[in-house]
């Protein structure tokens, strides 16, 4: 073997395999792809360099800064009489500079709205340019008023305490009233009351809906504590404005074989009122039982005086 060929082999042996592959791509079929990648990289590098020079000027434009008026939320229900947006921005300290270029903006706004006592759930939060944010909200629905010393406190169907300042005395009087509750809420508005009687009473009120006023009902009372295999439960009674006592039974959330579902109990009372003109007896208050009957029956109990209950 000649000295020239030996020298050529030594040079070839010193070329790294990666470099050989790159040379092969540049000189072979892969040349267009490699050139395209290099050009794209060069363009990105130039764009990034320019962006770093103009970034502050661009982001300082009013088109990127978010104000309270640029936040759109699901229309408020008729029972909410306050500016939820303003309260959320104030309480969550969102009144400082906000930019839609902030990658954490939608998460911050979602967390802030989820803390408001009237908000049950935050759906989609979407931002757009010019500066605008749309927030989908599910609001809590008041179903009854819990009577406490000094007034009435609203709760939803899950027993969550709601802001009482949104209800005038007249508005509060239109809701079912839950009486005989000796406890007070364990936390502020937006948290569970902390008493199973409140939850059960709220579930009963929610089962009636508009039928509550139609039947001229007045209040719900958790009357008797019963001991069952999985814990304590309360039996409930309902009273009309005229004083008729309705033996309701357990709360809708309990599962007791033989007891009618809440919807069937409401249907029984509506049927009775349609047939007799009202739930009260022909001479005044009476007693009705809707606990364990066939859906076509309501049992009046007219003998004796009806039992007094907390008002």
Which CATH number characterizes residue 123's domain?
A: 3.10.20
On whether both 289 and 238 belong to a single domain, the answer is: yes
255 and 272 share one domain: yes
Around Cβ 213, how many Cβ atoms within 10 Å? 12
Torsion of CA 147, 151, 154, 158, to 10 degrees: -30
Asked which of 105, 139, 173 is the last residue of a domain, the reply is 139
Let me know if residue 46 belongs to a domain.
no
Co-location of 226 and 259 in the same domain: yes
Residue 293 forms part of a structural domain: yes
User: Is residue 218 a part of any domain in this protein?
Assistant: yes
Boundary of a domain, candidates 107, 139, 171 = 139
pLDDT at 266: 95
Same domain for 210 and 98, yes or no, is no
CB-based contacts of 80, cutoff 8 Å, min separation 6: 118, 139, 166
Q: Are residues 124 and 150 in the same domain?
A: no
**Inside any domain, residue 158:** yes
- Is 273 inside any structural domain? yes
Domain identity same for 80 and 175: no
Proportion of the chain in helix, strand, coil states, percent, rounded to 5: 35, 25, 40
Per-residue pLDDT, 89? 85
Let me know whether 111 and 215 are in one domain: no
Last residue of a domain, one of 139, 168, 189: 139
- For 161, the token pair is 């305490």
Residue 248 has φ and ψ, to the nearest 5°, of -90, -45
**209 and 295 both lie in a single domain:** yes
Count of structural domains within the chain: 2
- Report the distance separating Cα 282 and Cα 15, nearest Å: 109
Say how many Å lie between the first and final Cα of the chain, rounded: 116
Predicted local confidence at residue 129, as pLDDT: 80
Q: Is residue 38 situated within a structural domain? A: no
pLDDT at 104: 85
Residues 214 and 90 in one domain: no
Q: Could you tell me the residue range of the domain that residue 131 belongs to? A: 65-139
Q: Is residue 26 part of a domain?
A: no
pTM as predicted: 0.74
| Together in a domain, 275 and 197 | yes
pLDDT in tens, the chain (311 residues): 554 555 555 545 566 665 566 556 556 655 566 566 666 666 656 645 544 554 554 545 567 788 888 899 999 999 999 999 999 988 877 766 788 888 888 998 999 999 999 999 999 999 888 888 999 999 999 999 999 988 899 999 999 999 999 999 999 999 999 998 989 999 999 999 999 999 999 999 999 999 999 999 999 998 777 655 555 678 999 999 999 999 999 998 776 777 889 999 999 999 999 999 999 999 899 999 998 666 666 667 654 444 556 66
Q: How far, in Å, CA of 143 to CA of 141, rounded?
A: 6
Q: Are residues 155 and 133 in the same domain?
A: no
Q: Burial code of 15-25, b = ≥16 C-beta within 10 A, e = fewer?
A: eeeeeeeeeeb
How far apart (Å, rounded) are the C-alpha atoms in residues 238 and 219? Answer: 6
**Whole-number pLDDT of residue 48:** 53
In a domain, 29, yes or no: no
Let me know whether 135 and 146 are in one domain: no
């Amino acid at each position: 073997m000649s000295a020239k060929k030996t020298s050529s082999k030594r040079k070839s042996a010193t070329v790294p395999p990666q470099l050989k592959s790159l040379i092969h791509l540049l000189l072979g079929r892969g040349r267009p792809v490699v050139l395209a990648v290099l050009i794209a990289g060069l363009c990105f590098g130039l764009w990034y360099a320019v962006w770093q020079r103009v970034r502050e000027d661009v982001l300082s434009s009013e088109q990127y800064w978010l104000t309270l008026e640029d936040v759109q939320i699901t229309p408020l229900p008729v029972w909410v009489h306050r500016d939820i947006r303003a309260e959320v921005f104030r309480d969550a300290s969102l009144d400082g500079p906000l930019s839609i270029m902030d990658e954490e903006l939608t998460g911050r706004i979602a967390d802030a709205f989820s803390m408001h006592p009237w908000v049950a759930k935050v759906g989609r939060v979407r931002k757009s340019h010019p500066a605008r944010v749309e927030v989908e909200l599910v609001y809590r629905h008041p179903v009854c008023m819990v009577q406490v010393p000094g007034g009435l406190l609203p709760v939803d169907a899950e027993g969550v305490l709601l802001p009482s300042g949104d209800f005038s005395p007249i508005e509060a009087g239109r809701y079912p009233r839950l009486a005989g509750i000796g406890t007070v809420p364990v936390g502020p508005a937006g948290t569970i009351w902390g008493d199973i009687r409140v939850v059960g009473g709220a579930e009963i009120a929610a089962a009636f809906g508009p039928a509550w006023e139609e039947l001229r009902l007045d209040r719900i009372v958790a009357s008797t504590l019963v001991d069952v295999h999985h814990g304590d439960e309360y039996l409930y009674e309902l009273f009309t404005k005229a004083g008729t006592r309705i033996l309701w039974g357990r709360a809708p959330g309990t599962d007791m074989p033989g007891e009618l579902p809440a919807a069937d109990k409401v249907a029984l009372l509506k049927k009775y009122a349609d047939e007799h003109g009202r739930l009260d007896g022909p001479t005044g208050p009476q007693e009705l039982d809707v606990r364990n009957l066939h859906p076509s029956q309501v049992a009046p109990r007219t003998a004796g005086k009806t039992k007094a209950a907390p008002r």
